[in-house]
Chain A
Amino acid sequence: MPASSIDTYQFDNGLTLLVEQMPWLESAAVTFLLPAGCQRDPTTQPGLAKLTAEMLQRGCGNLPSRELEQAMDQLGLARSTAVTNYHTRLSAAMPATRLPAALSLYADLLQRPLLPATQIDDGRMVCIQELLAMQDDLSQKLMEQLRIRQYPDPYSRSAHGTLEALQEISIDDVQQFYTQNFTPRETIISIAGNVNSKEMSQTVNALFGNWTGHETSQINTTPPPGGHHHLEQESNQTQIGIVFPSVPYSHPDYFQARGAVGVLSDGMSSRLFSEVREKRGLCYTVFAMCHTLREQGCVLTYAGTTTERAQETLDVLLSELIRLGDGILPEELGRLKAKIKSGLIMQQESSNSRASSIAADWHLLGKVRTTHELSQILDDLSCDSINHYLANNRPTNFRVVTLGQDALDTTGANTTDSTSTNSGVL
């Protein structure tokens, strides 16, 4: 398999196109990141980005919604749409020969959506249904609360919105949100797969080159609420979440932090899996992960366990987080490197993962790391460098959120005063 190359094209209207040629594949995938995430929801209208994304798919150009979906299916697009905090994200994978036709449909969808007023109530109901179903998803509920404890608003928001707000949003609000935020200026289009980079840039230029739009507005932040939090819930298990500050993806030390968290949580020989699940049988699911914004990051830790064993689980989790500050062992890092490296190579089997990965890189870094560069960074990572990082950045300032029948004793989490983090400036 030859090494892939990544080309970047900047268009006059501010649009960025990234293309990774993977000629050994038969597929191609495209990801669109639009600066229309729920962080742009007006304070009084949580859920507006989500409803706009829903309405966006209800027809475009001269195709009403059914014909649009029909055209996408005939092209064999395996597709998805999601609203994240930063973005409205559309993606599709397909046999590579269908990509130009697919781009043409997406060009209409993003620049000439019908946003049909007659369907606003249907779209609203779709969003309300999702909101209601989300309330039954306990681990997701917990993770959303954890973000709220860590990041300033609006970076901590989830896209679901509230029932009250969703009921009030009009088609004019949707139209206005679309006009303000579906703009080429900060939009990223990434393409990966069996494509020709130059041809793609010409196609994208022809389809999106004349797209115009405003610059998106400034975001004002407010700091997160401090302290721990318990949400009462009638359930068998208590959901336990712990968050603590870390560095973002753009930080020079990111891979030191990521390496440390990998030792904690990646794989079946990781510390959390072996201490919490294998040795003590305390839970079925336990993990920690690095979460990153552009200029701020954190580590999210999760375990779900039955009520009577929840306190022990929280205590073991905290002791493992604190012990991480003492450093990691060379053999732990060796295993982690093997795992990440094989993951990087296997990513070359999927146009979809590459398209999504390079778009995320551009968003977070303003550049793209090739698989080769990532591999080099991984090689340079040493036990000493990670331990040096950990010595200067011991996990601390924990915030605990629990969801279940009983609140837990969180005194073990109060390792230092928690005023030193979260300046609220991004």
Chain B
Amino acid sequence: MNNQAAVQSNIEFKRHTLSNGLELVAECNPDAVSTGLAFFVRTGARDESIELSGVSHFLEHMCFKGTPTRSAEDVNRELDEMGSQSNAFTSQEQTVYFCSVLPEHQLSALNLLSDIMRPTLRQSDFDTEKQVILEEIAKYDDQPPYGGHDAALVKHFKSHPLGNSVLGTAESVSALTQPQMLEYFHRQYSANNLTLAVAGKIDFVKIVEQLEAECGDWNNHDVQRDTQRYSTTPDTANITNIHKNGTHQQYIIQITDGPSATDADRSAGQLMATIFGDDNNSRLFWDLIDTGKAEYAVLESQEYQGSGIFLGYLCCPPESQESLLQRYCQLTTKLHENGVTQQELDTAQAKVCSHIVLRSERPANRMFNVGNNWIQRGIYETTREAIERIEAVTRHDIQKVLDKYPLSPATTVATGPEKEQH
């Protein structure tokens, strides 16, 4: 395939590191009409102890509740005044605060984002926002897969911190105190644990100047994270069914080991997941979706620092759960025995590369890509390099991934009307 058009010669990568360790990575595209800015904080659920469960995500909300110079209303009002599209999210290992603006607002956006990285964490705001977090937990508990995702991660990772829940539970969040959050904030939001990623039309010199002026005095100390690989061999006979009243479908999650964020075989892992379990024109699609055996059946790879997993998601009527799992297992066996065909690989590469090109048109998407690559892998990758990485994968690479990471047996958790274990 020809994706040459994706190489834009006037795009330039630039970086700068403050003396306190705060890093700036920028993909400058003078032709862009917007600017994306994001603070990536290397902290998330995996950095929490049991008694702090949910604190990273709660803290993400609290960062919008005001600073020594801005009230919560000021923060919200200013974000809207500059016409920004802004939000934040927390995962197992990152908390990301982002904002897309027209280029003329990039310095105001940076001023605001850097300010909220040093929040006040007032007790009264903490108490009000706790209610919002509890509502968020209640909301997700009413939605498929009804906490199944968290339950599956805990079951797979056991006491390893990658099994920690991002939201926490109603109990853990209710028990959190403001001093605990403050202590966690000081520990994790050290300057050298943050990266500012910027993409689109950028005034790099001014961004550096302002970053130095506004963030140069941020404190800085060692932040620890244990990234040793976690591996497990799941017990296939042990399916956990979590009953949920008033539901109609069964939602099944399967987890097995996979490549980590820095493993060379991660691209082969992604392509294998596309061939086997993309939501369209994959083996699972033709066998289970096209035939109406399942509402959905997909396989995704999820990479963490030091570890990785393949996540299978299935949805079907409760009476079909057993036969569906059997069929899924037959399909994985066949995949392991015979590998993939060259045509399947070619198609998956065309599909993945096209999506990379389409996504690259928006600075906001490039901002996520640049920031994520930097904090997960310490690299910058152009769109062209990403395409080349995908196109370089061979059938042999896929076979090696399959040999190394069996998709069966899998850690299996199902939620829905089903009551008993099979």
Contacts and interface: CB of A to CB of B under 8 A. Distances in A.
A358 interface: no
A189 to B, nearest CB: 20
Interface residues of B, number: 75
Nearest to A349: B362
Nearest to A306: B138
B132 interface: yes
B188 interface: no
B135 A267 contact: no
B142 A339 contact: no
A24 B101 contact: no
B358 A94 contact: yes
A284 to B, nearest CB: 4
A341 B362 contact: no
Interface string B171-199: 00000000000000000000000000000
A144 to B, nearest CB: 15
A124 B142 CA distance: 28
A373 B286 CA distance: 46
B333 interface: no
B132 A236 contact: no
B246 A342 contact: no
Given A24-B31, A27-B361, A339-B83, A133 B354 contact: no
Interface string A339-359: 111110110111110000000
Interface in B14-40: 31-34
Contacts, number: 206
A236 B294 contact: no
Contacts of B75: 268
Given A138-B143, A233-B246, A236-B142, A350 B361 contact: yes
A1 B295 contact: no
Contacts of A123: 292
A132 interface: yes
B80 A348 contact: no
B249 A133 contact: yes
B248 A122 contact: no
Interface stretch (B45-53, B219-227, B345-353): B345-353
A74 B291 CA distance: 23
Contacts of A278: 72-73, 76, 128
Interface string A124-140: 11111110110111100
B242 to A, nearest CB: 14
26 contacts: A26-B357, A70-B281, A75-B354, A76-B1, A97-B2, A122-B291, A125-B291, A126-B292, A132-B317, A133-B248, A133-B249, A135-B248, A137-B144, A234-B246, A266-B80, A269-B80, A278-B76, A280-B131, A282-B135, A284-B133, A336-B80, A340-B83, A345-B34, A345-B102, A346-B85, A349-B32
Interface of A: 1, 24-27, 65-66, 69-70, 72-79, 93-97, 121-130, 132-133, 135-138, 233-237, 266-270, 273-274, 277-285, 304-306, 334-336, 338-343, 345-346, 348-352
In the A-B complex, list the 10 residue pairs whose CB atoms are closest, starting with the nearest.
A125-B292, A76-B354, A281-B131, A342-B83, A338-B83, A234-B246, A129-B295, A268-B76, A267-B80, A236-B138
Given A70-B343, A136-B248, A268-B76, 17 more contacts: A66-B286, A69-B281, A76-B351, A76-B355, A95-B358, A126-B290, A133-B315, A267-B76, A267-B80, A269-B76, A273-B76, A274-B76, A281-B129, A285-B139, A342-B34, A346-B85, A349-B362
